[in-house]
Structure 1
């Protein structure tokens, strides 16, 4: 809808009132209120301003009957005078609950025993016990960790809108974390967030980190459970900001969620078993990557994209700085009339001769003209792209490849033919967060359901394309992600500011993405836009060396020689640290693939009973054994929390700290605080002198 500026409307209203033109003032206000009503209906599941109209939510007023069904336990509720059937599926650790239409990920009940009495039923599995109390004051307790009741579960069915609302109490020191890639903080307690894909640079670029490229409807609570909302529709979470407890409102006609009640490790394994185990990338993915954006290569001193890339690779080689990959955005770039088909062939041939893989770029948007150029035999109205009827001219909304269309893969292959023939080894799978609500897909789904789901369809198609031409020896890394994307691609942290604020956001983003089932994540080291100062660049480099993927990218050069000889030496040191750690990274990646446990793990995940650990969201464990505390502020000092156990300094193997303990440590620009858990087995590649770096 046309944008309405509240400040302009206020001025127009005041001018009308000054003229004593009440009719005009009311018309201006009506226009503004209509704008607010439409806008807030996107975010509040019952379509009201701030969920004020509570009476429109229907209670599950009475649990009339509990009985064994064909697949699980059948619950008969009375809601708004009508019978509503719900299904409770006992799981190994926890339970799945759904009403009517199921969500996108299906599971069945594990073997269980149902014991019935007059007012209470008990469901027992190998690891879980669920008690069900019938009647007006009905209650379902799942392993004494999660409660469903008349007071905390409601449905909305009104005026063509559908939603459900679930609430839980929050303990005084309870922490909730996950929800996808969250830049503002690891602990989302005390925040309101919307699980709805956005180009988060809108917020991150102006230091508002509450938007996300990767919204995943899965989170952990330190009360001992994890919850997965099985829906791709808009979800609004109030984690104790306005509502005194935890409130989750989910739009759409799918009331389906799973409660996991095992250990954090068991919950990660069960969640990824349901939504898809993370793919296992090739070993070389865990080595350093060089790279840059199209502007960085086009604007270089030679003005030649390929020569710029070759020059960077040659200089790194001469400096004895190892890399396994080059992000070659711009090679073969279609930009206006610019298209040099030979560029991907040239840089791929040059890099491959030196044992380096080359990665391209693509985003999800494609207009009708471009799509028609790839499928000239296809009538325009039958092209496999999304449609938004009623939106044209200046109001035209973006279109994307419609992967529900039978010719979508044909279009994607045509788009990629030259680069596949050139030998590209992977790509950034960029964007994927801007599917309009009004978009229509070939299979009948609308944009309001597909906006979050598009990331899964998008990466699944790219995985199919690259597997066809490259087998398993390739890498895909996506900016957008939702539940299930981990099965098809790695991820990267999107566009961040180049200074310390961007670094802080990136630490939060990597830790929360991992906790949400996205273990193979890397960031644009140095930030995306602009040029950072040398101090922050070196801190970025140190952090990147202890990320699942160490990669560089930006609109300006990210090579260390643009700063100083000292920066070159430190970059080389951490690139070789990365190579030293390669066996450990591979082992950690294999565990992530098998179990879903992330490579970057928040302290609260590894020490769930430690309330102090919940405070330090800027520390994490890299794998089982390395405690990492990145420096993300100016200066050479930071406070470090050491959890329970004995910790040994990775870089000198001399300093030892016994936790739990908080210390303020000196951290020179050459060092990132990293400590090894005492007793750990740490597989490394070392040189003949057995030195790190």
Structure 2
């Protein structure tokens, strides 16, 4: 949100107050916080203090390496709630505050300072004629707020400031920001030359956010616009820090736009509240950030397998479901989860949790057969809206569980389901009521829930707990997903709960998994999806998925579908889903045949899907361990090149490839021809499919290759010990037993990897290269098959094998 007209002027209808001078400085009584009274003009004598607005700033530390700053103009005004925070010093470090030059009580002479230290991170405020708050890591400056950086803007009715929230559930797209609030508070944090900015949750534009305006306001807007389903008021930069704006409502970011030297963020009201999180590298930032706001729960091993859905608006019944599952089995494509999308419930009755008996007369028997005879897990679609034809509408209305308007009427709309209402998850009894409905599904044999929607939340309503309606727009999704996740966890146990959620806010990363929304079935849609996933992973979300082949469109081009298969199966979670056409692979072979395209056997959609599904299953010893890292350390399974190689200037801008964990590089193919450029950072890399090595020890470099549908640029990083197991029918097996241990060591040195599974098995495999000799061993003496790179395997004896480099 832009308030200024160029560098010097404000926009018409805008009055600005700026923090001009730190006047009073003090250290908190606990010795672990600092306070600053900043005046809006320089004080020359006491008479200048009359009729003078001030800002009050309080800085504290909830954990080592994190500093919280709260700044207010009028502290009596209503403050938007922040996010649930784990305020504990998990690193065991010290937090201290100190002052210098405060000889005259708290006022001090010019040049007096207060300083807050939290581990290596510090915040210093200096008394003087110009406002200055500086954050440092050791002696290195991270960022600062200087000059006219902290501001309070008063808007008139005709202020020339527009606001982003749009549509029926916000304000109109052309409205003045005055319609949201007459007062906004903002702060600008400085950017260094060449400093890059990333994050903000799911954003479908470029991964590099410099030059973008980002509004934190969840919308159901598809994947080809500036809107997102999962907007997160958090960013991190290449200078080694992250920032969380602690506000559940509408936060507007100007990333090197309104002021090209800063990131500005603004919120409605008189108070702004943010956390600055030190690195120095992105992984450390994410570790600290997720310790602050919560980390992902463990996801069950079965969830990593291939998911197949009925797709949206398709006509299906029990016979259709059986034919799809039989078709996959008959083509030797391992399937882990079958998902029933919207139409398992009767039209106009969403959501009533009642299976449509016209098409599913014995659902308990069906689900039992899917479990016992097919070894499948089952997912079912829901949303938080209750159509007025649903029996739950009357029940929820009678008990006060539906959101109401200020006049006392139930809020209703015909958009989506006729006359639908909205469950009020701020009401604890409504949450318990909804959880019991979820548990009914679980008792019938459902294992996972797809929590669709959660973005279309009205602002003209009254909530049970009195929450501000604007604040609840973004926060609603967390209450919704938390309620469903808790229900599954209570029924199935910790580590066995799994969502497939579309919307999220800060905290949502604790309830995995999330998918990327309604993408176009095109190469552009595929690229948008990847960019959004990289941004989400840079915002604390450990698991992420998307619709293989794309969602929109009646029938994706078979080439798009097949290229997307490789991308989808080399993601943390993998789902075949679309809009009006089933996404089973044999339909795409038929489409090619209809167009006169004859594919060699290994290039058919069926063959490509089988190849990459089996490949993912074989990689489960690695993938499951990386997934545990998301749970234990907050590190995403899929991560940008910047996260893994923050000092590589080229890697910082790559958004058409990613790292799958720390060791595997994936570059999806976005072309019919298979031509693709891939950047390999400094080191030695081995192509998974060909065994070819690229020696980039002198410097990283771009390579070009052409891939058939059955391959993709997939490179293994040197220093990797990769454990796999071929020939498994599902993602649930003993990962460390009868394993193949592939060692990638181009020079002398040591490497190791840990392998754990759901059964509690835990083993470490060690590798050491000395000259041309490589020794591989297991921590407990178990046997395995060892090999160098993608070479021939040798069976160990007593848990040890020695190999010679050719």
- Could you say which TM-score interval applies, normalised by the shorter chain? 0.7 to 0.9
Q: Residue 194 of structure 1 corresponds to which residue in structure 2?
A: 215
Q: Residue 4 of structure 1 corresponds to which residue in structure 2?
A: none
Q: Residue 667 of structure 1 corresponds to which residue in structure 2?
A: 707
Equivalent in 112, 116, 122 of residue 123 of structure 1: 116
The yes-or-no answer on 1:291 pairing with 2:333 is: no
Tell me the distance in 2 between the aligned counterparts of 1:394 and 1:493. Answer: 26
Tell me the distance in 2 between the aligned counterparts of 1:681 and 1:446. Answer: 52
Which ranges in structure 2 are unaligned for 5 or more consecutive residues?
41-50, 102-111, 157-180, 350-354, 590-600, 728-737, 741-789, 792-806
**The structure with more helix, counted as a fraction of residues:** 1
The yes-or-no answer on 1:60 pairing with 2:60 is: no
Contact preservation (8 Å) 1:292, 1:552? no
Query: How many pairs are equivalent?
Result: 634
Tell me the distance in 2 between the aligned counterparts of 1:94 and 1:455. Answer: 27
Equivalent in 335, 348, 368 of residue 323 of structure 1: 335
Secondary structure at 1:260 match in 2 = strand
Q: Deviations over 1:461-495 (max 9, x none)?
A: 11121122222323112100111101123101111
Equivalent in 334, 338, 352 of residue 346 of structure 2: 334
Contact preservation (8 Å) 2:14, 2:155? no
Equivalent in 533, 558, 579 of residue 583 of structure 2: 558
CA shift in 2, pair 1:366/1:112, >3 Å: same
1:231-630 correspondence to structure 2 within 5 Å: 231-245=247-261, 246-252=263-269, 254-262=271-279, 263-296=281-314, 298=315, 304-330=316-342, 332-336=344-348, 339-340=356-357, 342=361, 344-353=363-372, 354-367=374-387, 370=390, 372-373=392-393, 375=395, 380=398, 382-389=399-406, 399-413=421-435, 415-416=437-438, 418-472=440-494, 473-529=496-552, 530-555=554-579, 556-564=581-589, 566-630=604-668
CA shift in 2, pair 1:139/1:398, >3 Å: farther
Contact preservation (8 Å) 1:629, 1:674? yes
Q: What's the CA shift for 1:339?
A: 2.5
Equivalent in 52, 56, 59 of residue 81 of structure 1: 52
Contact preservation (8 Å) 1:327, 1:358? yes
Tell me the distance in 2 between the aligned counterparts of 1:563 and 1:525. Answer: 13
Q: Deviations over 1:29-50 (max 9, x none)?
A: xxxxxxxxxxxxxx6689xxx9
Q: What's the CA shift for 1:447?
A: 2.3
Tell me the distance in 2 between the aligned counterparts of 1:330 and 1:398. Answer: 15
Q: What's the CA shift for 1:398?
A: 6.3
Q: What's the CA shift for 1:434?
A: 1.0
Q: What's the CA shift for 1:326?
A: 0.9
Q: Residue 595 of structure 2 corresponds to which residue in structure 1?
A: none
CA shift in 2, pair 1:61/1:53, >3 Å: farther
CA shift in 2, pair 1:501/1:316, >3 Å: same
Q: What's the CA shift for 1:393?
A: 8.5
Q: What's the CA shift for 1:667?
A: 2.0
Q: Residue 132 of structure 2 corresponds to which residue in structure 1?
A: 139
Q: What's the CA shift for 1:112?
A: 2.5
CA shift in 2, pair 1:170/1:398, >3 Å: farther
Q: What's the CA shift for 1:136?
A: 3.0
Q: What's the CA shift for 1:526?
A: 0.9
Tell me the distance in 2 between the aligned counterparts of 1:583 and 1:175. Answer: 34
Tell me the distance in 2 between the aligned counterparts of 1:279 and 1:45. Answer: 41
Secondary structure at 1:145 match in 2 = strand
Q: What's the CA shift for 1:251?
A: 2.4
Identify the range of structure 1 (401-410 vs 682-691) with the bigger mean alpha-carbon deviation. Answer: 682-691
Contact preservation (8 Å) 2:33, 2:96? no
Q: What's the CA shift for 1:331?
A: 6.2
Tell me the distance in 2 between the aligned counterparts of 1:369 and 1:620. Answer: 46
Contact preservation (8 Å) 1:479, 1:494? yes
Contact preservation (8 Å) 2:27, 2:98? no
Q: Which has the larger radius of gyration?
A: 2
Q: What's the CA shift for 1:420?
A: 2.6
CA shift in 2, pair 1:351/1:591, >3 Å: same
Q: What's the CA shift for 1:655?
A: 3.1
Tell me the distance in 2 between the aligned counterparts of 1:129 and 1:258. Answer: 13
Tell me the distance in 1 between the aligned counterparts of 2:704 and 2:413. Answer: 56
Higher relative contact order (CA 8 A, sep 6+): 1
Contact preservation (8 Å) 2:619, 2:723? yes
Contact preservation (8 Å) 1:225, 1:260? yes
Secondary structure at 2:324 match in 1 = helix
Contact preservation (8 Å) 1:59, 1:153? yes
Q: Please give the TM-score of this superposition, normalised by the length of structure 1.
A: 0.86
Q: Residue 95 of structure 2 corresponds to which residue in structure 1?
A: 112
Tell me the distance in 2 between the aligned counterparts of 1:180 and 1:463. Answer: 21
Identify the range of structure 1 (332-341 vs 95-104) with the bigger mean alpha-carbon deviation. Answer: 332-341
Q: What's the CA shift for 1:172?
A: 4.0
Secondary structure at 1:665 match in 2 = strand
CA RMSD, 1 decimal: 2.8
CA shift in 2, pair 1:421/1:518, >3 Å: same
Q: Please give the TM-score of this superposition, normalised by the length of structure 2.
A: 0.74
Identify the range of structure 1 (72-81 vs 478-487) with the bigger mean alpha-carbon deviation. Answer: 72-81
Tell me the distance in 2 between the aligned counterparts of 1:192 and 1:170. Answer: 16
Tell me the distance in 2 between the aligned counterparts of 1:613 and 1:417. Answer: 46
Tell me the distance in 2 between the aligned counterparts of 1:51 and 1:452. Answer: 29
